[in-house]
Structure 1
Amino acid sequence: MRIGILGNGLMAAALGEQWVRAGHDVMIGGRKPERAADLADRIGATSGSLQEATAHGEILLLAVPAEAAVDTLKSLDIEAGRTLIDCTNSINHRGFTLDEPAMAEAISQAVPHVHVVKAFNLAADAVWREAPHDFEGARLGVPLCGDDPAAVEQVGVLVRGLGCEPVFAGGLPRARLLEATAAVAIGVWAAGGDVRALFPPVGAAFGAVRPGD
């Protein structure tokens, strides 16, 4: 698969390196060619401008800072029907609340001709760099939100390539909930809490409780 990565930061490096290892044709695009080229050399990808990476990828990963995401996309000529993975979170770190509007909504409004899929936003770059992970015999689940089934399945293929399990979490309007979950999780982690303890297995959490009890 041809993947164009827009950005050359930590998420671009972690996911890009994994996808190169899996045999995908990855191009790193950046506003500063030297930074994109440096990352590409380190992970075995090719590099170019943001527009060149956009044209290269049949699937795109948006991995620029959240505050630059919409303006970046508006500056690019993206072919209609292209799949775009949004892994961004726009979080107010003073109170760990969700900025408005939610990123997936803003991105979809900016490029309505593109199939946006929210994914990879619930874990830091180190998690993806060190994938796969095994939790008591279960693979790490990666929630996906998107309105186009074919685009969601495309991203699911990339998730499975990391040794993780794609979990369909609903249409794109539900991506706001993934972003809010990230805000809560980061706030808990920053306060010294264990986020994993918030999500026990379904049987333990609901097995003895019925709605209305």
Structure 2
Amino acid sequence: MRIGIFGAGAMADALGTRWAAAGHDIMITGRTPGKAKALADKWDAGAGTFQEVADFCDVALIAVLYQGLESTLAEIGDALRGKPILDCNNAVEIDHFTLVTPPGRSTAQQIQEVTGGKVVKAFNQCHAKVWELQPPVFDGRALVVPYCGDHSDALEAASRLITDLGAEPLLVGDLRHALHLEAMAAIVISLLFGGRDQHTVFNLVAS
């Protein structure tokens, strides 16, 4: 699969590293070209402009700080229209650990509306350190990764990429459920800021 990564931070590094190891072709871009080029060199992959990465990819990952999301989407423009987009972002303020998106709206819905892409919410429940695990296993069980979206082809791509990390995909509904996944992530973030280990996760309990 040809994956275009928008962003060059910790999440882009962790997920891109694992997907490159799984044999996917990757091209990366970011608001700091030097950081994007460093990750591309690490993966033996390509780096390019926002347009070049959008043209290259079969599926995109947007992984940026929420403060930079608006400018990132403006830079992407219409270039990802109709393509699967993975959204791992969380719009959480760290004073009270609540969402800063408009009431009833998720980051994932915002991205879908602005880009015209087929957005899947996924990978937002864990710190980047979790995605570095090879594979992410807790108490002998693979990490369960909830994801949601409106488009079957995008959901299929997300499921494959979750599986390629050694995790277990769990479809939880259409994109309206992204708001709930983002709220769950706010709880995880509050735990991390409270001193919990970076590998803290939600996971299903076997009955």
Correspondence list, 1:194-213, <5 A: 201=205, 203=207
Counterpart position of 1:155? 158
Counterpart position of 2:43? 43
Which residue of 98, 116, 119 maps to 1:116?
119
Given the superposition, is the C-alpha separation of residues 127 and 46 from structure 1 closer, same or farther in structure 2, using an over 3 Å criterion?
same
Displacement over 3 Å in runs of 4+: 192-200
Given the superposition, is the C-alpha separation of residues 197 and 31 from structure 1 closer, same or farther in structure 2, using an over 3 Å criterion?
closer
TM-score, length-scaled by structure 1: 0.87
The reply to whether residue 86 of structure 1 matches residue 82 of structure 2 is: no
Q: What secondary structure does 2:31 align onto?
A: coil
Aligned residues: 202
Structure 2, unaligned runs of 5 or more: none
What letter is aligned with 1:44? D
Counterpart position of 2:11? 11
Stretch deviating more after TM superposition (192-201 or 54-63): 192-201
Q: What secondary structure does 1:91 align onto?
A: coil
Structure 1, unaligned runs of 5 or more: 204-213
Say what the alpha-carbon RMSD is for the aligned residues.
2.0
Deviations 1:35-84 (A, max 9, x none): 21111112222111122111111100001211222332233232432000
Counterpart position of 2:58? 58
Counterpart position of 1:21? 21
Q: What secondary structure does 2:178 align onto?
A: helix
What letter is aligned with 1:29? T
Task: Specify the structure having the higher radius of gyration (Cα).
Answer: 1
- With a CA cutoff of 8 Å and minimum separation of 6, indicate the structure with the bigger relative contact order: 2
TM-score, length-scaled by structure 2: 0.89
Counterpart position of 2:33? 33
Stretch deviating more after TM superposition (19-28 or 127-136): 127-136
Q: What secondary structure does 2:17 align onto?
A: helix
